[in-house]
Amino acid sequence: MCPRFAARVLFLLSLFSLTALPSVSAFAQTNQLTGRVRSADGLPIEGAVAEIHPAADSTLAVYTLSNDLGFFAFRDLEPGAYVLSVTRIGLTEYREQVSVEAGPMSIEVVLNPQAFELEGLTIEAERSRAKTRFEESAGITVQEIEAGDLKSIPVLIEADPLRAVEVLPGVTTVSDFSGSYNVRGGSADQNLILLDEVPIFNPFHLGNIFSVFNADMVDRVELQSGGFPAEYGGRVSSVLTITSDPGDGAFGVDAGVSLLATRVAVKGALPENAAERLGFTATRWRASARRSYIDVPLKPWADFPYHLTDLQGVFEAWTEGGSRLRFVGYSGRDIVDLSGISDTPIPIRWWWGNDAIGGSWTHSMGGGASMAVRAAFSRFESDLAFPEVDTEFQTGIEEATFRADIEQRPAWATSWKSGVSVKRVAYDNGLVGGGSTFLDQRGDGLEVAGYSQAHWNPNPGWLVEAGVRVDYWQPNAGPSETTLSPRFAVRRFLRDRNSAVRLAAGRYSQFIHSTRDEEFPFGLDTWILAGAEAPRVVSDQIQLGAESFFGDDDRWFASLEGYFRNFDGVAAVNAAEDPNDDTDALVAGNGDAYGVDLFVKRDRGATTGWLSVSFLKTVRSFPDTRVGVDPQPWITYPPVFDRRFEVDLSLRRELGWWGLDTGIRLNFGTGLPYTKPLGTFHLYRTQFVTGALGVEDDNAVVLGPRNGSRYPARHRLDLSLRKTVTKSWGTITPYMSIINVYNQKNVLFYFFDYQSSPPTRQGVSMIPFLPTVGVEVSF
């Protein structure tokens, strides 16, 4: 380790430790009441409302919400008699008179279940998280889709956590055939996708069409699209977190068959004596397996050349002290093998897939403080072989991360969160054929980051967050980079804290790029790290918004948010790369984006759902790699995901007379840009051995202004119907999903044929009217 690097690591560690110190002294000086809310079987309860008021005056009540470890805290209380109540819908109320004296005191709260509709519980859990974020986060923009909504959103063939984010504000997709998405003008490679705490690269099956995430394993999907506090790093555009559902500890099975695959998920808990021996008061786990099946029944007659498999698991255990141990794992493969099929036009063998594992230990400390330690490893590999021509294209990326965070509450109105992380990333991309190496990119890098952020409630009307993050990046080739990223957010509560306006600003950085040509809306990402071959991305962002809960029982939520982002160091494939230069595979550019997102959600009532309306304008500026001169001139153009206006309406309603759960999605979006060809010409090819041109029957195109034309607006209506039948042994749920109900031919590509007379334009559309069916069982 070089001295300079060691010094930076020490600096980060000292930053981490210094931010922890103030709380130690403050801790001992306050009159505080902390509590932990748990269920009867020992699991923590998040989002319970804890309220305390002097016994003599109930009008002076203050309240807070329990965190994900079940903790809540009241500080700076005057000594005296108080009444403490803790409530959570679906659970019995806790109410006790407590005597607060000088110094800290702690209370254990156990809430027991009461008879309540299960669906209501689910909604309430989601509402609690939304309300908690509203109350306790100043700037971050988060949209959440919980498991129930996930299955009712109509999607292609089977519920898909990744495709579901298409319906959220600020999210743009360019093709029905690709699960890649863009958020608020960011490139697709600027989205961090996490399975719990573990990053997943290229999380797609079947050539980018389906995500690798099994919906039966998912508790919720959260898209963080802006205003990230200092603890977030690694990507500049968005963070999508797929949170696994470890179940409730009771044994159960969820299984399903779709037109694509069969799947099964099993949940349960460790035997009590085993859990006790390990020191746990409660455990729960869930594991799933999925496989496409079309190749199996066809086996006697034909070798179907494709199948996918994936395995996923999550385990969670709790100690008596309220600490949590959690593991998550995933492994999946797609295999395409056409090499054994006679007369195949593309004799290939191709496999790709992910392996990921992560573990975390969240240690519960006094006063609601906690410390979390996480380790994760994730890799993606792909190998595409053309055996007949001795050619192979392979790509791979892997990342190992260790991270520690500590959160403290030195005073009632203040909390601190600090952390450090160390990450090693490596990639290896190669194309070798017939003795020639056409592509040989490999490298690795070490990222060390530290952050500290303060969270301050000066009074009930204001919430302020301020923090700083330092990212140090050391690639194996190229210069080291240090990015200092300040973050700030402020929220002003209005209407009894049911409404708020907020402002968030910050700097974000990332050190990884995909070399996939975004103008080709299919395919897998091929990753490359910042360093000699690619720049780092630095993005400054600001957003201003207003949001409110309203209506009976706060059943409505609405937010309106405007934003501006710039991106320095975005990368594009350099089609004119010099084979003698190992560092110019990508060209660095910049861009910016601004827009407005409106989100209206109704989560109670016969009809629930949300409306997303997004306006976006984004541009990119790059050296024009399509001009073979040096230096390349710069051009500015809208990228292919510059959809200026988009509306998504997602509704869910139970039709009482049939017991049908219906989901509807209506989408409208203005046209995406494309580069129109001005003409086509015959291609010839130099033959040096004859000193003349050879003739081919391919044509090439002369291009017009880059992305200077736009496809027509797109619109589509999707529908899903689910019918759950309860049997003595469990439930069975047949479902049907119809994509593109009225068969709108939304344009995927135009093909211009200038050789015909008169010249014509043809094209292909995206997914036509497509009904699919499936069935799920649970017991």
Partner 1 sequence: MTASSRVRRGRPRRVRRFDPGLAVLVALATAPVLGGCELTEVTVTESEDVVIAEVQVTIDLDDGGATSLSVYAYLHRTLSGARADEVEGAVVRVSGASNAAVHLEAADSGGVCLAPLFEEDDEEEDDDFELDIGSCYRATVSPSPFSPGETVELEIIVPDGRTLTGVSRIPDAFDFIGLTHEAGQCRIEPDTNYRFNWTEAAGTWSYLSDTWIEGLPEALAGQDVAAPDSLYLTGFAIGEKDTDILFPGEYGLFDLGEGADADLLRILDDGLPGGASAEVAFAATDRNWVNWARGGNFNPSGLIRIPSVFGDGTGFFGTATQRVLNVVSAPVGDEAPPLCGPAES
Residues in 515-544 that interact with partner 1 by CB under 8 A: 517, 519-520, 522-524, 526
To 5 degrees, how large is the angle CA 331–CA 337–CA 343? 170
3-state secondary structure of 554: helix
Chain residues 164-223 in contact with partner 1, contact rule CB under 8 A: 177-178, 206-209
526/614 with CB nearer partner 1: 526
H or E element at residue 20? helix 3-29
Q: Which is nearer to partner 1, 73 or 157 (CB)?
A: 157
Our CB check for partner 1 shows the closer of 594 and 754 to be: 754
Give the footprint of partner 1 on residues 499-518 (CB under 8 A).
517
Q: How far apart are CA 634 and CA 197, in angstroms?
A: 39
Q: Strand order in 191-195's β-sheet?
A: 141-146, 218-226, 238-244, 191-195, 198-199
**767 lines the binding site for partner 1 (CB under 8 A):** yes
* Per-residue CA distances from 127 to 50, 87, 120, 263, 736 (Å): 16, 14, 10, 30, 28
Among 670, 675, 744, 778, binds partner 1 (CB under 8 A): 675
Closest of 565, 441, 578 to residue 512, by C-alpha: 441
Instruction: Give the closest residue to 669 by CA, choosing from 637, 716, 708, 600.
Output: 716
Task: Pick one of 755, 771, 775, 779: the residue that binds partner 1 (CB under 8 A).
Answer: 755
Contact in structure between 432 and 409 (CB atoms under 8 Å): no
Residue 718 CB: number of other CB atoms within 10 A? 22
Question: What is the closest distance, in whole angstroms, from the C-beta atom of residue 617 to partner 1 in the complex?
Answer: 23
Rounded CA Rg of the chain: 28
Using the minimum distance from each CB to partner 1, give the nearer residue, 458 or 768.
Answer: 768
Q: How many residues of this chain interact with partner 1, rule: CB under 8 A?
A: 93
Among 346, 655, 725, 775, binds partner 1 (CB under 8 A): 346
Beta carbon of residue 350, minimum distance to partner 1 (angstroms, whole number): 6
495 binds partner 1 (CB under 8 A): no
Q: Which is nearer to partner 1, 621 or 680 (CB)?
A: 680
CB of 311 to partner 1, least distance (A): 24
When asked if residue 679 is in the footprint of partner 1 (CB under 8 A), the reply is yes
Write down the least CB distance from residue 591 to partner 1, Å: 17
Site string for partner 1, 433-472 (x = CB under 8 A): xxxxxx----------------------------------
| Distance of alpha carbon 198 from alpha carbon 180, whole angstroms | 18
| Structure tokens that stand for 255 in this block | 């299984």
Helix or strand (DSSP H, E) at 540 = strand 537-550
Residues numbered 94-153 forming contacts with partner 1, rule: CB under 8 A? none
By rule CB under 8 A, what string of x and - marks binding of each residue 573-602 to partner 1?
Answer: x-xx-xxx----------------------
Q: Is the N-terminal amide bond of 631 cis, ω within 30° of 0?
A: yes
* Spatial CA neighbour of 378 closest among 200, 137, 582: 200
Region binding partner 1 by CB under 8 A among candidate stretches 253-261, 354-362, 671-679, 727-735: 671-679
In the bound complex, what is the minimum distance in angstroms from residue 385's beta carbon to partner 1? Answer: 9
Choices 77-85, 111-119, 196-204, 757-765; region in contact with partner 1 by CB under 8 A: 757-765
Pairing of strands 645-655, 607-623: antiparallel
Window 399 to 438, contacts with partner 1 (CB under 8 A): 431, 433-438
* Nearest distance, CB of residue 761 and partner 1, angstroms: 5
Q: Which is nearer to partner 1, 206 or 426 (CB)?
A: 206
By CB under 8 A, tell whether 350 contacts partner 1: yes
Which residue, 90 or 430, has its beta carbon nearer to partner 1? 430
Considering only 649, 748, 773, 778, the residue that binds partner 1 (CB under 8 A) is: 748
One residue of 24, 62, 627, 775 binding partner 1 per CB under 8 A: 627
> Nearer Cβ to partner 1, position 303 or 696?
696
194: how many CB neighbours lie within 10 A of its CB? 23
Separation of alpha carbons 193 and 714, rounded Å = 27
Closest distance of CB 355 from partner 1, Å = 21
Pick the piece of the chain touching partner 1 (CB under 8 A) from 251-259, 382-390, 480-488, 499-507.
Answer: 382-390
Q: Which is nearer to partner 1, 225 or 737 (CB)?
A: 737
By CB atoms closer than 10 A (0-12, 13-18, 19+), residue 472 is buried
Using an 8 Å Cβ cutoff, are 652 and 150 in contact? no
Residue 692 found at the interface with partner 1 (CB under 8 A): yes
Give residues 43-102 in contact with partner 1 (rule: CB under 8 A): none
Closest by alpha carbon to 280, among 316, 244, 328, 327?
316
Q: Min. distance of Cβ 596 from partner 1 in angstroms? A: 31
Query: Based on CB atoms, which residue is closest to partner 1, 297 or 691?
Result: 691
Structure tokens at 757: 């007379």
Among 496, 685, 727, 728, binds partner 1 (CB under 8 A): 685
**519 or 568, CB closer to partner 1?**
519
For partner 1, give the closer residue by CB, 95 or 682.
Answer: 682
Least distance CB 745 / partner 1 (angstroms): 6
Residue 515 vs 662, nearer CB to partner 1: 515
Residue ranges in 699-718 that form contacts with partner 1 under rule CB under 8 A: 699-703
Contact partners, residue 575, CB within 8 Å, separation at least 6: 625, 626
Sole binder of partner 1 in the list 4, 95, 277, 745 (CB under 8 A): 745
Structure tokens at 197: 């705490």
- Nearest distance, CB of residue 301 and partner 1, angstroms: 20
Q: What is the DSSP string of 113-164?
A: B-S--HHHHHHHHHHHHHHHHHHH-SS-EEEEEEHHHHHHS--SSS--TTGG
Please, what is the minimum distance in Å from the beta carbon of residue 771 to partner 1?
14
Q: How far is the CB of 289 from partner 1 (least distance, A)?
A: 24
How far is it, in rounded angstroms, from Cα 152 to Cα 145? Answer: 11
3-class SS of residue 200: coil
Which SS3 state, helix, strand or coil, does residue 344 take?
Answer: coil
Residue 81 or 703 having the CB closest to partner 1: 703
Q: Which residues contact 351 (CB under 8 A, 6 or more apart)?
A: 333, 334, 335, 336, 382, 383
| Least CB distance to partner 1 at residue 195 (A) | 24
Q: DSSP characters for 403-421?
A: EEEEEEEEETTEEEEEEEE
Q: Which is nearer to partner 1, 503 or 748 (CB)?
A: 748
- Quote the CA–CA distance of 183 and 15 in Å, as a whole number: 32
**634 in contact with partner 1 (CB under 8 A):** no
